[in-house]
Amino acid sequence: MRLLLVEDHKPLVRAVRQGLEEEGFAVDVAMDGEEAGYKAETTDYDVIILDVMLPKIDGLSLLKRWRKKGLSSHVILLTARNTVEDKVRGLDSGADDYLTKPFEFDELLARVRALIRRDHHHKSPVVRIHDLEIDTAGRTVKRAGQAIRLTPREYNLLEYLAFHQGQVVSRMMIWEHLYDEHDENTSNVVDVYIRYLRNKVDKGFDPPLILTRWGEGYMLRGEEE
């Protein structure tokens, strides 16, 4: 999952970014409204964390502009303003969620994940495909009742495939959603991780869930097949 963090306070940026990355998210950062606009319009982010008080362009106007343009990424507003009016104004401007500073980091995480789940119509935190059980809240994986340990990257990849179950995801898409701008784009990183994943998830289980579509990408087996 790829996130955009828009915040101009450096210490906060450092802390939040590190925390999110440690949780397996790919995080891009913008320090002012202009940069944020540019990045949001060129990359498809799963969630944008937006601070309202920004230099150059006010956060809310930016948001309104995005929504007008049809940008459908989820947006969480991060702000020091905590009055009801501010919350209402923020939500009415097109935000999906609102978090006030100072905040608990865990809360930020949970809300981000909730938004992602919403995207994929998975209201329940547990995703079940065949005998695969993925608890997106606890970030645990079980297959046929057996717990499988995955690294954060592996988990993110599996979760991504699971959210797109039955659909082909191209390498490009995988790359975009799992790796931030600073990671080097080596084309077989994706392949490598697919292999890692297969080792853990498919090996010893039936049916194989991670499928290859030559020339197109990968896919997690859907329920119908």
Partner 1 sequence: MKSIRRSLLLYSLVLLVLAFGAVSALMDRTVGQTLLAEEQSRRELLDAQYKERCREENNKLDESLLQQARMIASVVQSQTQWSRSQNRRLMGLGMLTASLAPSGQVLLPVWAAESLDESLDRDRHIGLGGRIDWMLATELKLPEGESGHHDDGDYVQIRNEWGGSWRSPSMAHREFPVDTEQFGAMKLFSWKFDDVEMEGTRLRRVMLKSPVTRFRVSWRGFGRGEGPREGPRPEPGTRPPPPRMPSERTSPAVLVQFAADTRERDANLAQIKTRFDEETAQMHGNSQATLAAVRFHLLAITLATFAVVLGGGWWLIARQFDPLRRLTSAVSLVSERNIKLRFDEKQVPSELEPIVDRLKRTLDMLERAFAREKQALADLSHDLRTPLAALLTTTELALRKPREAGEYREFLDDCRNAAQQMSQLVERLLVLARLDSGVDRLQPQIVDLAQVTSRCLSLVRPLAEARGVRLSMTGEGSAEATVDADKLREVITNLLHNAIEYNRPEGSIDVRVGRCNGHVRLEVQDTGIGIPVAARPHVFERFYRADPSRHTEGLHAGLGLAISKEYVERMGGAIRFESTEGQGTTFQVDLPAKA
Interacting residues with partner 1 (CB under 8 A): 8-12, 14-16, 18-19, 22, 32, 53-56, 79-81, 100-106
Of 81 and 120, which CB lies nearer to partner 1 in the complex structure? 81
- Which residues are CB-neighbours of 168 under 8 A, at least 6 positions away? 213, 216, 217, 218, 219
Least separation in angstroms between CB 105 and partner 1: 4
Of 34 and 176, which CB lies nearer to partner 1 in the complex structure? 34
Tell me how far CA of residue 182 lies from CA of 22, 23, 222, in angstroms. 15, 17, 32
Burial 176-201 (b: 16+ CB within 10 A, else e): bbbbbeeeeeeeebbeebbeebbebb
Of 23 and 133, which CB lies nearer to partner 1 in the complex structure? 23
Q: Is 148 helix (H, G, I), strand (E, B) or coil?
A: strand
Least separation in angstroms between CB 184 and partner 1: 23
The answer to whether 64 touches 91, Cβ cutoff 8 Å, is no
Compute, in degrees rounded to 10, the torsion defined by CA atoms 75, 64, 69, 156.
-10
Of 19 and 125, which CB lies nearer to partner 1 in the complex structure? 19
Least separation in angstroms between CB 198 and partner 1: 28
Least separation in angstroms between CB 73 and partner 1: 23
Least separation in angstroms between CB 68 and partner 1: 23
Of 19 and 94, which CB lies nearer to partner 1 in the complex structure? 19
Q: How far is CA 200 from the centre of its chain?
A: 22
Q: Is 205 helix (H, G, I), strand (E, B) or coil?
A: coil
Query: CB burial class (10 A; 0-12, 13-18, 19+) of residue 39?
Result: middle
Of 101 and 130, which CB lies nearer to partner 1 in the complex structure? 101
Q: How far is CA 127 from the centre of its chain?
A: 16
Least separation in angstroms between CB 196 and partner 1: 22
